[in-house]
Amino acid sequence: MPLLYTKQGHTGILTLSRPEARNCWGQDYAEGLIRHLDEAAEDDEVRSVILTGDEAGGAFSAGANLRDPNTHNTRSAEAFIKRVGRARNFPSNLVSDFPKPVIAAVNGYAIGIGCIITFCCDLIVASERAEWRLPQVALGILPNYGGATRLARIIGKGSAMRVAMGFPLKADEAHRIGLAQWLVPHAKLMEQALAVADHIAGLPPLAVRMVKESMNRGQDIPNIADASLVDAYRFMVLEMSEGQGRGARGLAGASQAELPRALVVISSPAKLGRCRRHTATEGS
């Protein structure tokens, strides 16, 4: 199948694999996301998922398959209404609503839907070869699945508008403005993505799920007071969970000198790889 799924330790790895067409998007990718993300959600051993492109394709994804006559070709209002009625299965929603963190390992061009799907991921590790493009306006359409709005939430309206108007966003700038959290040499991409996934695997899984839910849902709550109130309930549930109890007992047994090391495990280069270019202070 063009969407490949493998497991490595506590990490699921999804690979967009249509190398003869630069991993361009097709309905089979969307169907694969439904199947494999459902499987990963039910698998307690999987703590996070990495989404990347087949290296043989020379891109993360070149976007929609324009050679397919059904691409960007809604044939009737009835067909449109039926498709919109299945919005839960839009690729964007499948990724953003997945309960565990999704890490995009962007290994080249991410174009169109291949670009938008990275905005739906929770963290982005970028190869120095990564480049984001939204060419839809030049084709007389617009970025689907809230693509421009999702990007504006991450990098601001002006920068998002520039990308939506067809200007490319290269890896170094994507890292500088906060779209990508890590920028690494191309050969180190999966090493870094797996290091991030390994760090996540060492965290209490319920807390990881709740912080993703808090961030994603909280952005849709119109005021911070209501978002804070909802988080109070999440916090209460986590206080009652077994994972929180183990973590609290571990901290309670630590000496005052050991507390910073116990709390700030992410600052160790061994945890997140030595290949990232920004410092722990810059990433905090």
> Is residue 275 a contact partner of residue 192, using CB atoms and an 8 Å limit?
yes
Phi and psi at 166, nearest 5°, equal 100, 0
pLDDT number for residue 246: 56
Whether residue 237 sits in one domain with residue 191: no
174 has a pLDDT exceeding 70: yes
241 has a pLDDT exceeding 60: yes
Distances (CA, A) of 83 to 3, 76, 157: 21, 11, 29
Mean pLDDT to the nearest integer, 34-57? 98
Of 255 and 54, which is predicted with more confidence?
54
Whether residue 84 sits in one domain with residue 221: no
Whether residue 141 sits in one domain with residue 67: yes
The CA distance from 64 to 92, in Å, is 14
Domain extent at residue 259: 203-283
Q: How many domains does the chain have?
A: 2
**What's the angle, vertex CA 97, arms to CA 133 and CA 209, rounded to 5?**
115
Whether residue 272 sits in one domain with residue 144: no
Q: How confident is the model at residue 156 (pLDDT cuts 50, 70, 90)?
A: very high
pLDDT number for residue 65: 81
Among residues 200, 224, 243, the one where a domain terminates is: 200
Q: How confident is the model at residue 178 (pLDDT cuts 50, 70, 90)?
A: very high
Place of tokens 């499987």: 39
Whether residue 165 sits in one domain with residue 133: yes
Q: How confident is the model at residue 216 (pLDDT cuts 50, 70, 90)?
A: very high
The CA distance from 172 to 177, in Å, is 9
Among residues 165, 200, 235, the one where a domain terminates is: 200
The CA distance from 142 to 92, in Å, is 15
284 has a pLDDT exceeding 60: no
> Is residue 192 a contact partner of residue 276, using CB atoms and an 8 Å limit?
yes
Whether residue 41 sits in one domain with residue 176: yes
- 221: exposed, middle or buried (Cβ count in 10 Å: 0-12, 13-18, 19+): middle
pLDDT number for residue 70: 65
Please list, residue by residue across 174-196, b when 16 or more beta carbons sit within 10 angstroms of its beta carbon and e when fewer do.
bbeeebbbbbbeeebbbebbbbb
Among residues 143, 165, 200, the one where a domain terminates is: 200
253 has a pLDDT exceeding 80: no
Q: How confident is the model at residue 261 (pLDDT cuts 50, 70, 90)?
A: low
Q: How confident is the model at residue 142 (pLDDT cuts 50, 70, 90)?
A: very high
